[in-house]
Chain A
Amino acid sequence: MKRRQFLAALPAAALAASGCVDQRSHSHAVYMLVDTSGTYAQEAGKAQVIINYLLGSLQPGDSLAVARVQSRSFSEKDIVAKATFDSRPSQENAQKRAFRERIENSFRAVSGSRYTDITGGLIQGAEFLNETGAGSKTIIIFSDMQEELDKVTQRDFPISLKGVRVVAVNVVKLKTDNIDPRKYMGRLEAWQKRVETAGAREWRVINNLDRLDAILARG
């Protein structure tokens, strides 16, 4: 197979030798945080729809990781599934099928966590995305954006999300938000400020799941 690849890549290699090849990475890496705390665990079905959309949209060479937001989310153990899709389309399709099966199995019995550590998940996601070396990096937060930490967990320090797009999806309104909508607005504004201070390239909120194409808008 390697020999075949080499033979086919000879013309491209000639171009690369002449300095024509674009050395920048054109791959896309996506890290999706799925909130499974409290009542939001019921929304797991919608999360699967988004993951399926991502599987259908990501190209060969792109990376995708799906992680749960738990009481403490800065851990690799929270990553449910991750894959860097093969550059060969046939292998890529097989990988996507396997990924979907893994996700289905994981979300079959979702147990809600007591606390919601979104910041930990963001730090973990940024770490994963930077490791992929992708040209375009996106963190999708499938959550109500209500962070709840235990007393021991420390998250009130500056984080780095340099060059990362952060997209909050399906940010449902809580009962308290319905009473005072300013809480909802304030919560989103606070997250926007935090994300932008961390150096994120973009902050976006998508509540209409029919407009998922905006998730992967490549800059």
Chain B
Amino acid sequence: MSSQAWMIWPDNFAVSFLVVAVLAMAFMYAARTPMHGLLRSVGHAVGGPLRMGARWLLAAAAEVQARNKAVLLAHGKHEVGQRVEREFERLGVIVQRELQGYPALQRKLLDEITRIEEDYKKCGEVPPPPPEWTEAVAAVANVKTGGNELVLRVLEEIKRSITSIHDKTLADYRRSYERRHKILESFMPFWRSVDKNLVQVEQNMARLQANVRTVDAHMAIYEQINEGTDKAQHALTVSGFTQFATSLLVMCVAAGGAFINFKLIALPMSEMVGAGDYITQSLRTSEVAALVIIFVEASMGLFLLEALRITHLFPRIANLNDRLRTRMLWIALTLLVILAGVEAALALMRDMLISDKQALLQSLSTVQPQAHDGWMSSIPTAGQMLLGFILPFALAFIAIPLESVIHSGRTVGGVFVLALLRSLAFLLRVLGSLARQMSRVLIKLYDVFIVVPLMAERLWKGSRSERSSKLDVDVDLERTHA
């Protein structure tokens, strides 16, 4: 079809365009009302479902949020509950260990205090005062001799007696004080013992107090979780993210370990299952077998930690009675040890195979083999064997970050799903509004195309209304006149 087919006068573009424009304008003017309706309907038809979708997504987001919150709080409650339980256990141990000796300690303290009191009382005992007859002697001493020899002799005798009595009494006093000093000196060990016991009591009390404070803090968190406050939810979410990131990091490290482990046993596994079978284009059966062994080791580690109740991924294992659980623990440990032994042997075989291959290649390329120092060359072999034995046990601990990833993954995933739902809802809402606004714009644009007939219509309507208003005025005048 020619591009000039629409031209009424093919030679005259302007006239043709004008005629077509006039015709189109007339048609569009005639179809104005249904077209406006159509555009409006299209806007509603597109925008309505989009807005509905947005509302549904927001409702779904609210539901997901509520579910996330419930799961998060339940998980947090469980975690904090366990922590509080553990703190109480610790507290119980402290109380049992430290406070069970309190009656004995108290008895000891009382005994020591009683003894100190008795000794104190003994210190308070003073020596007997000098005999009362000394006063009589003093009176006699005041008697005037008057030069009488007999009196003088008597007085001399009295003086001698008194002097000897004084010396004796003084010696008694000294002995008495010496005894009291000794008693006071014997106080010291008791004081020290009392002081030591009291310091120990104070330390125990401080430790107890610290533990009680920890329990209080956990209980405060527990209460917040129980009340379902936003603060608790936020704290748990942040904790979940941190836990997820940390666990993921540890998992990456473990994956590195698993890769090394894989490298150690992949080649020797081909000695068992053959190197010619392929699972896919580039994946050998021997490599898959090596991977399976590593996964089995990780599984055994998982069961071991489950049986030890370190992880709780399998409630059935946690619910086993102690006898069965212990049996399972030993089975898992035995298998793990066997697998570790197998890996060590495979690592040795790998070294032997590589050496053999190296020797073959050297003989093929007619290169003289390098002389190796005996013990130096055995270091890598020993290292490989050691790694082969240790890595399975190291991989066993992957269960802990795995559990953490699974648990915190629920929180992280929930938050991402929520964000996705909200973003989608926002997008749908924007698109819905855009559709409605577009229909309005199109209506206006439609009117722009038929602006000439619309102006004519307005003018005609204007003159008509003027005439009718004039007619109304005339009628009014006539009425007034009437």
Contact = CB atoms under 8 A, between A and B. Distances in A.
B274 interface: yes
A96 interface: yes
A5 to B, nearest CB: 6
A52 B278 contact: no
Interface string B259-291: 000000001011111111111110001001100
A22 B292 contact: no
B458 interface: no
Interface residues of A, number: 29
Nearest to B287: A12
Contacts of A187: none
A27 interface: yes
A9 interface: yes
Interface in A1-15: 4-5, 8-9, 11-12, 15
A73 to B, nearest CB: 26
A143 B465 CA distance: 110
A27 B288 contact: no
A186 interface: no
A24 B361 CA distance: 29
A59 interface: yes
B289 A88 contact: no
A56 B365 contact: yes
Interface stretch (B195-203, B303-311, B352-360, B470-478): B352-360
B364 A89 contact: no
Interface string B391-419: 00000000000000000000000000000
Contacts of A93: 353, 356-357, 360
B378 to A, nearest CB: 20
Given A88-B270, A93-B356, A97-B363, A21 B275 contact: no
A183 interface: no
Interface string A58-70: 0111000000000
Nearest to B366: A52
Interface string A152-168: 00000000000000000
Nearest to B274: A87
A64 to B, nearest CB: 13
Given A89-B271, A89-B353, A15 B276 contact: no
Contacts of A59: 275-276
A97 B364 CA distance: 9
A89 B292 contact: no
Contacts of B285: 9, 12, 21
A20 interface: yes
Contact of B273 (A9, A22, A56): A9
A56 B367 CA distance: 13
A75 to B, nearest CB: 28
Given A22-B278, A26-B276, A87-B276, A55 B289 contact: no
B276 A8 contact: no
A8 B281 CA distance: 21
Given A22-B280, A87-B270, A90-B356, A60 B288 contact: no
A22 B279 CA distance: 5
B392 to A, nearest CB: 16
A100 interface: yes
Contacts of A100: 363-364
A21 B279 contact: yes
A96 B363 CA distance: 11
A56 B366 CA distance: 12
Interface in B224-279: 267, 269-279
A89 B288 contact: no
A61 B276 contact: yes
B271 A90 contact: yes
B274 A52 contact: no
A59 B276 CA distance: 8
A9 B272 CA distance: 8
A12 B273 contact: yes
A208 B273 CA distance: 38
A93 to B, nearest CB: 5
B1 to A, nearest CB: 52
30 contacts: A5-B272, A5-B274, A8-B269, A9-B273, A12-B279, A15-B279, A20-B279, A21-B279, A22-B278, A22-B279, A24-B278, A26-B276, A26-B281, A56-B360, A59-B276, A60-B270, A60-B274, A60-B275, A61-B274, A87-B276, A87-B277, A88-B275, A89-B271, A89-B275, A89-B356, A90-B352, A90-B353, A92-B275, A93-B353, A93-B356
Listed from nearest, the 8 A-B pairs whose CB atoms lie closest are A61-B276, A87-B274, A11-B292, A8-B272, A60-B275, A52-B364, A12-B285, A87-B276
